[in-house]
Amino acid sequence: MLSDVLRAVILGVVEGVTEFLPVSSTGHLLLAERFFDLGETNFWKSFAILIQLGAILAILALYFARLWRVALGMFSDPAAQRFVIGVLVAFLPAAVIGAIAGGYIKSYLFNPWVVCFSLIVGGAILLWVDQLDLEPHEHDAMAFPLPMYLYIGCAQCLAMIPGVSRSGATIVGAMLLGADKRAAAEFSFFLAIPTMVGAFVYDLYKNRADMTMDHSVIVAIGFAVSFVTAIIVVKTFLTYVTRHGFALFAWWRVIVGTLGLIALALGK
């Protein structure tokens, strides 16, 4: 049996590595819980949500200057106002569907079989998009047309199926709508902020009775590991996809999904 500290470190690394890559952090965490017995209690199931805030703070740290300018200009700069509205518009579809169907989704779709199939299908879609001869005309994630923000938000709703990947859905949606790879990836980071903060606050409130001081220490460890790992991954990811595309992540999804299906079929 793994110690709680080691378990927190492992899950923190998985969260930090996968949250902003188009490979599905939720899917990987569910598979880690299933095959390595990392999430057998309600606390550990909530832990995966709670440490997402560490990954979000990594985005705030990396993009602090740009986001601070937006915050300062929110009431005076039309461009800043437009971007804030765009993020809220993109966030709205997931918020509505999550409020209406969140319980159903968690009850019926959060299982390793769904995750594995979603990983494989999502990998195939990433390979397809990566090979398209797209001609991007949007190069600034903070200046997309407002309808484009809404359409990307609708694409994000697909990520409520575990294994689809929130970042993967938003990146693919943005690219098909005309964004270049870097702008598509950056907007997926920005959209993650309200989406994941909302999930964090909701889960923290829902499970407040289960939180003890010992739990707080374990969450803090996972939080810190997730934060540091996410900073490294995001900086590397942007440079990599700009030069090489998404094929590596697509094949990773296919391999993990296939191995997962084999393990499940063998009764693991």
pLDDT tens by residue, 188-219: 999 998 888 877 777 667 666 665 556 778 88
- Report how far residue 12's alpha carbon sits from residue 227's, in angstroms, rounded to the nearest whole number: 8
Phi and psi dihedrals of 242, rounded to 5? Answer: -60, -35
- The whole-number pLDDT of residue 258 equals 97
- The whole-number pLDDT of residue 1 equals 46
What residues does each domain of the chain span? 4-265
State what percent of residues in the chain have pLDDT above 70.
91
Burial class from Cβ neighbours inside 10 Å (0-12, 13-18, 19+) for residue 258 reads middle
Q: Looking at the chain, how many residues does it have?
A: 268
User: Residue 7: how many CA atoms within 13 Å on its side-chain side?
Assistant: 21
Band (30; pLDDT cuts 50, 70, 90): confident
Give the closest residue to 56 by CA, choosing from 162, 181, 200, 240. 200
Confidence check: pLDDT of 29 > 70: yes
Q: Tens digit of pLDDT for each residue in 127-174?
A: 999 999 899 999 999 999 999 999 999 999 999 999 999 999 999 999
User: Residue 267: how many CA atoms within 13 Å on its side-chain side?
Assistant: 0
- Please indicate whether residue 32 or residue 226 has the higher confidence score (pLDDT): 226
- Please indicate whether residue 4 or residue 95 has the higher confidence score (pLDDT): 95
Encoded tokens for 261? 């299906």
